[in-house]
Amino acid sequence: MSVYSSSNKKHIAVLGSTGSVGTQVLSVISSYPDQFNVVGLTADSNWERLLSQSNEFCIEWAMLSDQDAKKEAFPMFKREGIDLLESNENLKLRFNQGKLDLLVGCSSGTEALSVIWKALKDGISVALANKEILIVAGHLLKEAARESGAKIIPMDSEHAAIDRALRSIGNHHKELKRIIITSSGGPFRTLPKSDFHSVPMEQVMDHPVWKMGQKITVDSATLINKGFELIEACVLFDVPMDRLDVWIHPEGYVHGAIELTDGHMVWVLSNPDMCFPIGYALFYPDIPFKPKSRFVPFGKRFSFFPPDEERFPALRLARNAFSRSIFSVIWLVGANKVLVDSFLRETIRFVDIISYLEQIMEKVNYLEQLRTDTVDSVQNLLDRVDELTRAFLKHKEINNL
């Protein structure tokens, strides 16, 4: 018998529960107490919030990645009878001990790669907001899911919308012509290129539509987030890059669309609120039954523009990286992370993020003989890219992997 309750509830664990998406996932779950049972939560260092969430949802286990936070928090979790796991390895063992129906991946970065891969390998479906993981190791995650029968369910708003649109055409996928991913354009949609060098941190962090974690907010301002989403769509939906378009849609109501061979389009609209993609992924393959709000079009403005790739070269960088090789994609994701960290620590300017990324992507020699056929080998490459990008920031020279 399962170590969890024998009810018909879906048993869920959330990686990165203390973050922007993680807290919204728990908020959606709390609206459906009869449907879901949260059994485990993880965070990096914010143990106070993790403890409060753990108590609210009566979970069995929790994990903190940060060693100091773990040490500090241990007595408090023990007092509450919550098992504070030592490491990712202990977490992976939990997958075999009882029935977990769904793992929600919404931690930032790529730290959770091996955990998510192991869940899929063990037949546990994963609802994934954490796009970086899918981008650098989609080949491994999809293989694990294929072998075990688990499902990778999109929780990124654009991809959940596209998945919804594709489901609406049932078995008619041969009628799919193009996929459209929308973007608000970020806070600098209309800013002249000459002003990019002087934008202050507050403006970068002030996204016009979404309130999100720091890294994705910066990625949305450079538009590399949209580049990542193009790669994410290719991986999730098995479509070639040349059948994907990006539309700038500042109002943020249309999240994704598909164009059919007969010229019709299916657009997916909702108010811009993460509760829609989160509900979609949590209930999958069922459909949520209590929408938080109804979309009312009257009086709303809808506008669409093509992206300006002169001012925002990030889309081109992502397309080029994807067409070149998985090594190139690993460089793109790994180097961008270091550059965004440096911007957030105010050691480089906003304009430097993409300018340095372009220089790095141009100079790197992509050695195809390196391995990417295991999660450890991908993680090793990411660690090495991290090191080399930090060295680049010091010496403005890039060495090969």
Residue numbers at the binding site for ligand NAP (CB under 6 A): 16-22, 42-46, 65, 106-109, 111, 129-132, 156, 210, 212-214, 216, 274
- Burial of residue 21, with CB atoms counted within 10 A of its CB: 0-12 exposed, 13-18 middle, 19 or more buried: buried
Identify the helix (H) or strand (E) that includes residue 103.
strand 102-105
Nearer to ligand NAP (CB atom), residue 293 or residue 399: 293
For residue 52, the minimal CB distance to ligand NAP (Å) is 12
Nearer to ligand NAP, 17 or 259 (CB): 17
Sheet holding 152-154, edge to edge: 83-85, 61-64, 36-43, 10-15, 102-105, 125-128, 152-154
Find out whether 245 and 181 touch, Cβ atoms under 8 Å: yes
The most distant pair of C-alpha atoms in the chain lies apart, rounded to whole Å, by 64
Q: CB of 15: closest distance to ligand NAP in angstroms? A: 7
Q: Give min distance, CB of 220 to ligand NAP, in A.
A: 9
Question: Closer CB to ligand NAP, residue 212 or residue 332?
Answer: 212
Tell the smallest beta-carbon distance from residue 333 to ligand NAP (Å).
Answer: 10
Smallest distance, Å, CB 18 to ligand NAP?
4
Report, in Å, the least distance between residue 280 CB and ligand NAP.
Answer: 13
Closest CA to 253 of 210, 317, 205: 210
Name the residue nearer to ligand NAP (CB basis): 65 or 148.
65
Token pair belonging to 262: 């007969």
**Which is closer to ligand NAP, CB of 107 or CB of 372?**
107
CA 86 to chain centre: 25
Answer yes or no: are the C-beta atoms of 331 and 321 closer than 8 Å.
yes
CB of 72 to ligand NAP, least distance (A): 12
Phi, psi (rounded to 5 degrees) for 148: -95, -15
Name residues whose C-beta falls within 8 Å of residue 337's C-beta, 6 or more positions apart in sequence.
109, 110, 132, 215, 386
Find the shortest distance in angstroms from Cβ 65 to ligand NAP. Answer: 3
Residue with tokens 């990030």: 314
285 upstream amide cis, omega within 30 of 0:
yes
Nearest CB to ligand NAP, comparing residues 18 and 328:
18
The nearer residue to ligand NAP, 21 or 116, going by C-beta atoms, is: 21
Residue 197: CB atoms within 10 A of its CB come to 11
Give the separation between CA 105 and CA 201, rounded to whole angstroms. Answer: 28
**Minimum Å distance from CB 321 to ligand NAP?**
17
Residue number of the CB atom closest to ligand NAP: 19
CA 14 and chain centroid, separation: 13
DSSP state of 263: S
Q: Quick one: 84 or 212, whose CB is closer to ligand NAP?
A: 212
Nearest to ligand NAP of 109, 291 (CB atom): 109
DSSP conformation letters of 40-58: EEEESS-HHHHHHHHHHTT
Give the phi and the psi of residue 75 in degrees, each rounded to 5.
Answer: -60, -35
